[in-house]
Structure 1
């Protein structure tokens, strides 16, 4: 049996489920969370020795804290945290209500921070650990009309993960931001929210919404089983990377964004760097 104890959120479907199944088949012990623990138990057929299914409300700090403590009590420690839970929200920024956007941030951002806040005391004390924050290529490039709220949550994850990496390094704790491209999971149906108040003028946004729900859905190039294998291999590395762009499409989009930034910087460099006080 592999030594590291994994804790995976959002594990009843998609990438989280693929990761849990791959971990268990590889001999790891895994605590996994879902809002509905019965869905999790149905999805994963494993013995209690190696698998601990937990019903967790990520927006509730007490619920998260209890899950972390139960994991440590059950397995004796906790080593690898995978913040995978989250959902997409499509709609122009004008269409989306304050409540819709705040709920998106509550789950995708503040839910992740709750897990980090409750897991770090254990990782800090044992002077080891690894936190995987599953972001998105949409957290590196926001050029997706209709996905402004979702990409904002993932940009936030990139930002606080980089800070966390610097804060956690003295304690021997690694942080890896995983930015997947399109993977063939249920993300675009079960996990995609839409605005209650659509505005007819936003034809481009509706076209993007239809494209994702009807044409891209279940035709994505990425294989979640292969993605899970990549993450497990990275977790076993001595010096794992901070940034992992997962999938060919993710690499292509990241390279396009980097090129665009370099072009924009070069275009106004002389003007933009003329702001210092005169010596």
Structure 2
């Protein structure tokens, strides 16, 4: 059984990117990690960087979030038996794909949505019975600033899936409140991970988009080499702080701050979310007279 004073984390997509950074920070702070990936062999080089005590607190789990729910549930049920509980589920696994929405079509959109939205839904639903039984737990969902900064070519499927995840997390937070289960929607900006180099996905090419595709290639090249990206380890340290009530997060909570449904990470993400909120407020102010007074006339 796990130390009752430590957290047991289940992290999907834990072999790379933000998931790996979170694994490293959690075990370095004395917690246990159920680390899932589609290919468990990817953890072999990672283990070589951990000390013996840390390796003993990591259990590798073969889990593809795009699998049928029955397979996901079997994997999660088995994971619970390792240390007797899951204190914090982190829905991190996801895929990126860029291309014009018309060229991706419904098939491309469903491909991304299947992993980035329905994968989150299925893993969460497989974990919730265990948390509800204990009347305790935290569900972390890794969203994206792309849900707010999405007015450019190529991001439609990824941004739509993340926007769906955001809305799901917000409703889920209300549904789970009676069971003492918290929901944290993490909205990262640009961190130094492979998600900055997403593959192209175009199933129905149209010549009209040739110029836009060329511009998209230039933009992606600039993004890959952009300086000043966030440090994944520092970003995930903040997530651990919030979940455990430590560090700056602990200071805010002890000072009367409420649990944050939204946790925006990085100056670029903070800027983009604020800009979107300001633009929406401006549109509401300018057009509220047009959209008001629509009740039946007497």
Equivalent residues of 1:6, 1:78 under 8 A apart: yes
Aligned mate of 1:245, from 239, 253, 264: 264
Rounded Cα–Cα distance in structure 2 between residues aligned with 1:96 and 1:261: 28
Question: Deviating runs (4+, > 6 A) in structure 1?
Answer: none
Q: Compared with structure 1, are the counterparts of its residues 25 and 82 closer, same or farther at alpha carbon in structure 2 (3 Å cutoff)?
A: same
Aligned ranges 1:161-172 → 2 under 5 Å: 161-172=169-180
Unaligned runs of 5+ in 2: 246-252
Q: CA deviation at 1:207?
A: 1.4
What's the CA shift for 1:218?
A: 4.8
Structure 1 position 217 matched with structure 2 position 224: yes
| Match 2:104 to one of 93, 96, 99 | 96
Deviations 1:259-279 (A, max 9, x none): 110111011111201212246
1:122 match: secondary structure: helix
Alignment partner for residue 115 of structure 1, among 123, 131, 137? Answer: 123
| Displacement after TM superposition at 1:205 (Å) | 4.1
Q: TM-score, normalised by structure 2?
A: 0.88
Change in Cα spacing, 1:23 to 1:218, as seen in structure 2 (3 Å) is farther
Q: Alpha carbon RMSD of aligned pairs, Å? A: 1.7
Which one has the bigger helix percentage? 2
> 2:250: which partner in 1?
none
Q: Equivalent residue for 1:58?
A: 65
Question: What is the TM-score normalised by the length of structure 1?
Answer: 0.93
Query: What SS does the aligned partner of 2:86 have?
Result: coil
| Contact 2:89/2:138, CA 8 A, preserved across alignment | yes
Assess, with a 3 A threshold, how the Cα gap between structure 1 residues 53 and 243 changes in structure 2: closer, same or farther.
same
**Superposition pairs for residues 1-279 of structure 1, below 5 Å?**
2-45=5-48, 46=50, 49-60=56-67, 61-189=69-197, 191-202=198-209, 203-212=211-220, 214-219=221-226, 221-237=229-245, 239-278=258-297
CA offset at residue 125 of structure 1?
1.0
Deviates more, 1:167-176 or 1:202-211: 202-211
CA contact (8 A) 1:87 1:192 kept: no
For the 8 Å contact 2:108–2:157, the answer to whether it is kept is no
Number of residue pairs the alignment of both structures matches: 277
| Cα distance change on mapping 1:218 and 1:55 into 2, 3 Å | farther
Decide whether the 8 Å contact of 2:90 with 2:140 is kept in 1: yes
CA contact (8 A) 2:108 2:201 kept: no
Q: Helix, strand or coil: the match of 1:89?
A: coil
